[in-house]
Amino acid sequence: MVATLSIHDARTDNTPQNLGFDPQRLQYLDEHFKGLIEGEKIQGASYLISRDGQIIVHRSLGKLTYHEDSPDLMPDSIRKVYSITKAFTAVAIAQLVEEGKLFYQQSVSSLIKEFDTDMHRGITIWHLLTHTSGLMADPGCQTEPYELPFYQWQASKKKESQSHWEDSDWIKILLGGRMYCKPGEQWNYCTAGYVILGELIARVAGMPYEQFLQEKILGPLGLDRSFMTVPEELKAETCFVHPWGEKELLNPWDSSGLPAQAGSGLYSTLQDLWTLGQTLLDGGSRNGVHLLGRRTIQNMVSNQLHNIPSTCWGDKVKHYPMSLGFNLNHNDICSPGTFSHEGHGHSGLYVDPTERLVYTFFVPSLAGWVPEAIINPRAIIWSALI
C-alpha cells in the first residue's frame, strides 16, 4: 500500500490563497493522512474544503476496500455515512414543521399509539432530535463492558422466528427496555430515536421515509450519488472496510416490516454532503431549489439544551450543547456556532458560519474511532485560515 499510495484531485473552484488560506499549512493535511494510512490506522482518506461556497480542495488517498487488489479511494467514491443520515432526517422533520404538519414540542404518542404509556407519553419530537428522550442509548454509550445487541438486530431475529409479524412490532421491541432517564433529563446518543423520527415522517407524509428523502431532499438538491441502497452499477465505486460491510453492500437484508434506517442507513459522497452543508450555510436555497427557510435553519442549528448533562462514552459534561439534529460540542479551534455531524467514526460534515467554511471527510478504518483522523485535521484546516 505504501509503495502505490497516490493522491487524486477532483475539480476545485478557486485556490486556497485566494480564499484566505495558507496553502503551505494545508499541505500538512496530506502528510498527516498519509502517515495514518502508512501506519495502518486508516484504510484511506478523502476530504473536501470550501469557503464562501467555493471548493478549494477535493482530494483522496488510500484504498477503496480492504482487499489486497483494491482500487484507490477516489474523491467521488461512495461511502456509507452512518449517523450523518440523522442530519438528513432532521432536515426532513424541519420541512414537515414548515408545512404545518408537525411541531417540535408535539408528543410522539399523538402519532404513534405505542408511545401512549405512562413511561413514554412525555417524549416529544424535540426530545428525539436532541437525544434527550430517555430511550435506550446506542450500545456502548455508557461504556458497558458487554454490549447488548442493537434493537434492529433483535427485531430482525424476532421477525424471522414469527409466522405472524405486524409492521409495528419493532416499535414494541424498541420500547420494551427500561428508560435511561426521564425525558429531558440527560443527553444520551440515541439512534433509536431517529428511527422513530423516520417512522413519524412516513406516517405524516404518507410515503416511506426513503421516498420522502429522495423526493424532498436528495432529488431537489441533485444529490445523485446518495442512496439508502446503492444501485448495482455503482457498487464497484463504494468503499467498505470489512467483510460485514461488503456483505451489507452487495446483499442488502430484507427490511420489509422493519424500521427505516433514518439514523444510519445513507450512502453518500463528499460532494453530496458538502451540497447539503453549503445549502444550510446559504440560508436554505441552492440553484433555485428551496430546501428550508432561513429562520428555520437558524433555529435548527442553534443550541437547544440548557443545564443538560452528558455521561456518554465517559463524558462528564454538565451542560451539553445540541441543536435540532447537529452537534455543537467541539471544544476546539472551530468557531462558536459551528454545527456538525459525524458517522461511525469514519465520516463527517462540519459547517462554520463565522468563517463561511464547509469541511467534509471520509477516513475509512476498521477501528471504530481514530481520533487522529477525526480531531487533528480540524486543527490543521482552521489554523490555515489567514
- CATH number at 108 reads 3.40.710.10
| Closest CA relative to residue 78, chosen from 277, 233, 203, 278 | 233
pLDDT for position 168: 77
199 grid coordinates: 417512522
Backbone φ and ψ of 146, nearest 5°: -130, 105
Number of neighbours of residue 23 by Cβ within 10 angstroms: 13
Please give the full DSSP string across 159-175, using - where no structure is assigned.
HHH-SS--TTHHHHHHH
pLDDT above 90 covers a percentage of the chain that reads: 82
Q: Which of 149, 140, 147, 138 is nearest to 194 (CA)?
A: 138
- Judge whether 73 and 60 are in contact, CB under 8 Å: yes
**Quick one: pLDDT at residue 150?**
66
* Beta carbons within 8 Å of 184's beta carbon, 6+ residues apart: 122, 127, 132, 134, 308
Tens-place pLDDT, residues 297-317: 999 999 999 999 999 988 889
Confirm whether 36 is domain-assigned.
no
> For 287-297, how does the pLDDT look when each residue is reduced to its tens digit (9 = 90+)?
999 999 999 99
Other Cβ atoms less than 10 A from the Cβ of 185: the count is 13
What pLDDT does 151 receive? 64
Cβ-based neighbour number of residue 182 at 10 Å? 13
Summarize pLDDT for 66-122 with one digit per residue, the tens.
999 999 999 999 999 999 999 999 999 999 999 999 999 999 999 999 999 999 999
Q: In what order do the strands lie in the sheet with 78-82?
A: 238-239, 78-82, 266-268
Q: For residue 153, what pLDDT is reported?
A: 61
| CA-based nearest residue to 43, from 86, 82, 79, 83 | 79
3 state DSSP class of 356 = coil
| Structure confidence by residue, pLDDT tens digits, 325-345 | 999 999 899 999 999 999 987
pTM: 0.95
- Rounded Cα distance between 248 and 341, Å, is 23
Q: What percent of the chain has pLDDT over 70?
A: 93
Complete edge-to-edge strand list for the sheet that includes strand 347-352: 7-9, 54-62, 44-51, 357-362, 347-352, 339-343
Residue 304 near residue 324, CB atoms below 8 Å: yes
Largest pairwise CA distance in the chain:
64
In a domain, 248, yes or no: yes
Beta bridge partners of 52: none
Non-local (6+) Cβ contacts of 304 within 8 A are 126, 129, 130, 322, 323, 324
Mean pLDDT to the nearest integer, 148-159: 65
35 domain residue, yes or no? no
Q: pLDDT value at position 216? A: 98
| pLDDT of 177 higher than 90 | no
Has residue 258 been placed in a domain?
Answer: yes
Tell me: the pLDDT tens digits for 42-58? 999 999 999 999 999 99
Alpha helices in 206-339 (DSSP H): 209-213, 243-250, 270-281, 294-300
Quick one: average pLDDT of 131-160? 76
- Determine the pLDDT at residue 2: 47
Task: Read off the pLDDT of residues 229-280 as tens digits, 9 standing for 90 and up.
Answer: 999 999 999 999 999 999 999 988 766 677 889 999 999 999 999 999 999 9
Average pLDDT in the chain: 93
Per-residue model confidence as pLDDT tens digits over 65-79: 999 999 999 999 999
Among 341, 347, 386, smallest CA distance to 365 is for 347
Closest CA to 266 of 95, 91, 84, 65: 84
With respect to residue 18, please indicate whether it lies within any of the assigned structural domains.
Answer: no
Statement: residue 148 has pLDDT above 90: no
Q: How many Cβ atoms sit within 10 Å of the Cβ of residue 153?
A: 11
- Name the residue range of residue 186's domain: 79-266+281-329
CA pair distance 91, 290, nearest whole angstrom: 12
H/E segment holding residue 267: strand 266-268
Q: Provide the pLDDT confidence category of residue 142 given band limits of 50, 70 and 90.
A: confident
> Is a pLDDT exceeding 80 seen at residue 350?
yes
262 located within any domain: yes
| Kind and range of the H or E run holding 351 | strand 347-352
Determine, yes or no, domain membership for 207: yes
What's the one-letter identity of residue 343?
A: G
Q: Please give the tally of structural domains in the chain.
A: 1
pLDDT at position 365: 95
| Dist. CA 289–CA 276, nearest whole Å | 12
**Position 37 in a domain:** no
Residue-level pLDDT at 221: 98
